[in-house]
Amino acid sequence: MDDLVRNSTVTLKKGEGRSLKAGGVWIYDNEIASISGTFKNGDIVKVSDFDGFPLGAGFINQNSKIRIRMLTRSRQQTVTEEFIRRRVFDSLTYRKTVLRPEDLNCCRLIFGEADHLPGIVIDKYSDVLVVESLALGIDRLKPLILDELIKLLKNEGINIRGIYERSDAPVRKKEGMEPFKGFIGDEFDTDAEITENGVRYLVDVVNGQKTGFFLDQKYNRLAMQKLICGLKTVDSDIRVLDCFTHMGTFALNCAYAGATDVTGLDISAYAVSQAKANAERNGLQDVVRFKEANVLDELPRLYEEGERYDVVILDPPAFTKSREATKNAMKGYREINMKGLKLVRDGGFLATCSCSHFMTQELFTEVIAQAAKAVHKRLIQVEFRTQAPDHPILWAADESYYLKFYIFRVSEEK
């Protein structure tokens, strides 16, 4: 089969490529000394160190500061269509290995760089695939990747009824690509019903956040089910406050596990309407209440009214999407954790998370400690978790590690 690599070589400057050599997958524009041969943006080119030592091959795009996205770090590897198909096969095999069989109903099948297919994400919601393509090079290989994935799923007895593309992130413009949102192939009913941890949801892949649903919190939601089951052994009445509830996922998992009084807050009217519909879908509408509210304003109001909860869950959107904004983001995380902690009854629990890879585990831990000290609370760490394993973390590729999730037991200073 034909080699897809162009007869063109990118040579790094002396002393550059440190991230790449440490296991990373990106080469930035300011690390490159020269480019020989002919190519078009999106082509696969060879990469060499300053002294000519081969470092592998990757997509080139001169529109982007991320000039090269590596496909392989092997000197001997030939990049062919079969090579790409094998990468897709490996990605699916990995999910079958690390997820419970029932979790293949809804999961991330390909996670870009962490699956050695840089720039593309593919999520599965029952019999629907949702694609996000953010890099020019991988966009050209998208039909091949989807063709192979559909074939492999069919071999597993899973027939995909439709594919929808959610490549509408503004970051595409940095690749010289316009945001795109629409059907790949025939149109179909884009509402997909999924079951996760026993809870049923209707996913709107057209209008939902990201690709329609936050799959990365799958096992963190399951951890909350386990916590509620434990609380039930000592108290029959369990009050839960789920902040930034989105589609009601944490709230519904707590109610499903036996919490008796659950409140979900979100600033989005659309999210609240979806959450209410999901509560009815699970017969939990008498246990869970959802309210449209600005969480930062609502938490102090609840505190002043004397409300206290056995469990408070904080799952805010990313407060920073750049390294430069991290300092301000720390203030935001500190504030929301202070307000959340004040609402936890003595001996209750706080679940808190950050979904920004710029907010490192160390920084996030520091912020939580500062928040607890400020409101005179003591914390016992119950669990620290990250994203579900269908969102694998590739070491040395920091952007693949983004979700940090803590569960604490909270007590008053005594």
Q: How far is CA 223 from CA 108, 153, 253, in A?
A: 19, 29, 9
Query: Strand locations in 187-308, DSSP E?
Result: 191-196, 199-204, 239-243, 261-266, 288-292
Which DSSP symbol is given to 316? P
Q: Are strands 26-28 and 5-12 parallel, antiparallel or unpaired?
A: unpaired
- Neighbour tally for 80: CB within 10 Å: 14
Could you give the C-alpha distances from 76 to 8, 56, 61, 122, in angstroms and in order? 16, 8, 23, 28
The radius of gyration of the chain from alpha carbons, rounded to an integer in Å, stands at 23
CA distance 129 to 123: 6
Distances (CA, A) of 78 to 35, 71, 147, 171: 20, 11, 21, 30
Q: Are 253 and 262 in contact (CB under 8 A)?
A: no
Buried b (16+ CB within 10 A) or exposed e, 23-41: ebbbbeeebbeebeeebee
* Per-residue DSSP letter, 190: -
Contact 205, 192 (CB under 8 A): yes
Residues 6+ apart with CB under 8 A from 80: 1, 2, 3, 4
Phi, psi of 116 (to 5 degrees): 60, 30
Alpha helical stretches, state H, 283-407: 295-304, 326-341, 361-374
Active site residue 355: yes
Other beta carbons within 10 Å of 220: 25
- The span from the first CA to the last CA of the chain, in angstroms, equals 71
Catalytic residue among 106, 243, 254, 355: 355
Alpha-carbon span 225 to 227, nearest angstrom: 5
- Residue 144 structure tokens: 């091949």
Tell me how far apart the alpha carbons of residues 19 and 23 are, in angstroms, rounded to a whole number: 7
Backbone angles phi, psi at 125, to 5 degrees: -120, 95
Catalytic site positions: 355
